A and B are shown apart, each in its own frame.
Chain A
Amino acid sequence: MCLSTVYIQTKGQRQKVMQDVAKMEFNNEGYLLTGLLGDQKMVDGRIKKIDFVDDHSVILETKD
């Protein structure tokens, strides 16, 4: 599946933020995620890892 799942990680604990993410835009507040079906969510954090092959995941880490 080419669409990604975005997770946020805090102290090693991973939590799913959104699946089937079609677009991820950075602005001053963080990342604006847009799902394939048009749903949107803001999430703040730093990108820790993007996996383009296995599980198509984007891992964000909370800022301390």
Chain B
Amino acid sequence: MKLSVCGKGGSGKSTVVCLLSSAAQAKGLKTLVVDSDESNSGLFRMLGFTEPPIPLMTLVGGKEGIKEKLNQPSIFSETEITLEQIPHLYINKQNGLWLVSIGKILQALEGCACPMGVLSREFLNKLRLAENEIAIVDMEAGVEHFGRGLDAGVDSVVLVVEPSYESLMLSEKIKGLATEMQKNLWAVLNKISSDRLASKLEEELKKREIETIGVIPYDSAVFTACLEGNPISQGQSTRQAGKILDLLLSKTKIKSRE
């Protein structure tokens, strides 16, 4: 199963990616996290890695030296890409968790991020997973990834919603875009301080025909981990993520059989 995690900037996409990937590992799934956000650079640390992987952008000519060193054709010339086909140099591995990064904007005036969008789209389209494998994609903030067709290659879209008017408004937009692309979409509420707030947001989302699949509570341990760039420790949030993942797995299976 391939999941993309999207939403407003600051809503907690990377946090939800980390929580879901941790839940997937706990279930014994081989878990690939795809860092498709060309701006934020701290995801590797939140996943427990000490170094970021070399971006896949270098495979298509970003850094010639590395390409020559590998001395092998790019995986992008294949019709399908399996986890085992990704060259070791471009992937971080640890306890069943794999991380790849598409690319990052590194310098001023280096040009637009369109090539990274194409690479992300092609990678997700070609990625073939086995039954015991899952890919979780950390998307860039906002909606441009829909315009670039990145979500075409995923099975379901997870929409992270924080308690703000902007987040709700963007949710409505994202629901429309996902529907246009014929993608399943479920919302995960994040930074939720009370049941009352959760109900209010769920109600607002329901009005926009968006089903809420789970609630990540306001959790000071999560905030501290995000501030320090550390993995999130086991607690209320990780337990909730486990339930959300179970629902996502069962709902995606049901939808694919329809």
Contacts and interface: CB of A to CB of B under 8 A. Distances in A.
A1 interface: yes
B60 A37 contact: yes
Contacts of B148: 1
A3 B118 contact: yes
A12 interface: no
B76 A37 contact: yes
Interface in A6-56: 20, 22, 36-39
B117 A37 contact: no
Contacts of A20: 118
Interface of B is mostly: helix
B5 to A, nearest CB: 22
B133 interface: no
Contacts of A38: 60-61, 74, 76-77
Nearest to A22: B115
A37 B122 contact: yes
B114 interface: yes
Contacts of A1: 114, 117-118, 147-148
B112 interface: yes
B74 A2 contact: no
B97 interface: no
Contact of A37 (B77, B112, B114, B147): B77
A37 B115 CA distance: 9
Contact of A2 (B60, B114, B147): B114
Contacts of B118: 1, 3, 20, 36-37
Nearest to A56: B114
A4 to B, nearest CB: 10
B48 to A, nearest CB: 31
B47 interface: no
B119 interface: yes
A54 B71 CA distance: 38
Interface of B: 60-61, 74, 76-77, 112, 114-115, 117-119, 122, 147-148
5 contacts: A1-B117, A2-B114, A3-B114, A36-B60, A37-B60
Given A1-B114, A1-B148, 14 more contacts: A2-B112, A2-B114, A3-B114, A3-B115, A3-B118, A36-B119, A37-B74, A37-B76, A37-B122, A38-B60, A38-B61, A38-B74, A38-B76, A38-B77
